């Protein structure tokens, strides 16, 4: 599942007319890097939640056949259902097996491959080094167990693997994912890993420009004999 329903307030005025996942970096909409990575990793079906300007995302991506994927859309009301509420609403489309959720407004070279949390865990989180704009981090990691506090701390990347039962008793209304995660982390039922590769939260104009420069430079380096291949992250 790709989370793509947010308003993108910090990215206005760009997001007044373009949903944040369709903002271009390296000449390509941000969300397409996720679709390419998911297909490359072995996924065949992807759910995308929609709210703000969702019809533009649906029109731009269609049924996903261009990427060898089958896309389904989970339509939310204007204002969206927040991260937790959006995932809960999409459960009928996601099925009964563990599933991957990735934020639509990040750029990363983390390999998006099918996997499941360990048997005693309800979630598996990918954690990254704390960026300067989030220096305190979110969670600690002890082996492969995520803790609510400790040192060193890491930032939740917005990439997580979840069992459907994590959301089974959640209310059918807007709610954030973080408090639910903290609850099951405190119960010792969340595993995790630290990823030290490329990851950027594309949440501001400055970071959008940073990713655009990074991807454009990579694309230029990969041009050979007048034929250029777009970099997929």
Tens digit of each residue's pLDDT (9 = 90 or more) over 137-179 = 899 999 999 999 998 899 999 999 999 999 988 988 999 999 9
CATH number of 2-208: 3.90.550.10
Q: Please tell me the number of Cα atoms within 13 Å of 224 on its side-chain side.
A: 2
57/198 Cα distance (integer angstroms): 25
> What sign does the CA torsion over 174, 76, 206, 209 have?
positive
What pLDDT does residue 206 have?
83
Looking up tokens 């220096």 gives 135
233/155 Cα distance (integer angstroms): 20
Query: Residue 90 has which token pair?
Result: 């999409």
Pairing of strands 70-75, 145-147: unpaired
For 54-87, b where at least 16 C-beta lie within 10 A, e where not — what string?
A: beebeeebeebeebebebebbebeeebbbbbbbb
- Each domain of the chain, given as residue ranges in start order, spans 2-208
Number of H helices and number of E strands within the chain?
6, 15
Show the low-confidence residues of the chain (pLDDT under 50). 225, 231-233
What pLDDT does residue 49 have?
96
Pairing of strands 123-128, 190-195: parallel
Indicate left, alpha or beta for 9 from its phi (over 0: left) and psi (-120 to 50: alpha).
alpha
111/32 Cα distance (integer angstroms): 15
Find the helix or strand (DSSP H, E) in which 123 lies.
strand 123-128
What pLDDT does residue 159 have?
97
138/17 Cα distance (integer angstroms): 32
């Amino acid at each position: 599942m790709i989370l793509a329903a947010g308003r993108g307030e910090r990215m206005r005025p760009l997001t007044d007319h373009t949903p944040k996942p369709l903002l271009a970096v390296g000449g390509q909409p941000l969300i397409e890097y996720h679709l390419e990575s998911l297909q490359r990793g072995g996924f065949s079906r992807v759910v995308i939640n929609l709210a703000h300007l969702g019809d533009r995302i649906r029109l731009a991506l269609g049924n996903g056949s261009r990427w060898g994927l089958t896309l389904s859309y989970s339509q939310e009301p204007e204002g969206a259902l927040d991260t937790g509420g959006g995932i809960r609403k999409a459960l009928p489309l996601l099925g009964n097996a563990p599933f991957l959720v990735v934020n639509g407004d990040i750029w990363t070279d983390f390999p998006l491959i099918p996997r499941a949390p360990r048997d005693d865990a309800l979630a598996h989180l990918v954690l990254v080094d704390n960026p300067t704009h989030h220096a305190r981090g979110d969670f600690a990691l002890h082996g492969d167990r995520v803790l609510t506090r400790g040192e060193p701390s890491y930032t939740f990347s917005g990439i997580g693997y979840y069992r459907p039962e994590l959301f089974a008793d959640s209310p059918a209304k807007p709610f954030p994912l973080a408090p639910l995660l903290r609850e099951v982390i405190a119960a010792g039922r969340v595993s995790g890993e630290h990823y030290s590769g490329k990851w950027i939260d594309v949440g501001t104009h400055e970071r959008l420009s940073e990713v655009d420069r990074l991807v454009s430079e990579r694309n230029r380096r990969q041009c050979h004999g007048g034929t250029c291949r777009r970099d997929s992250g």
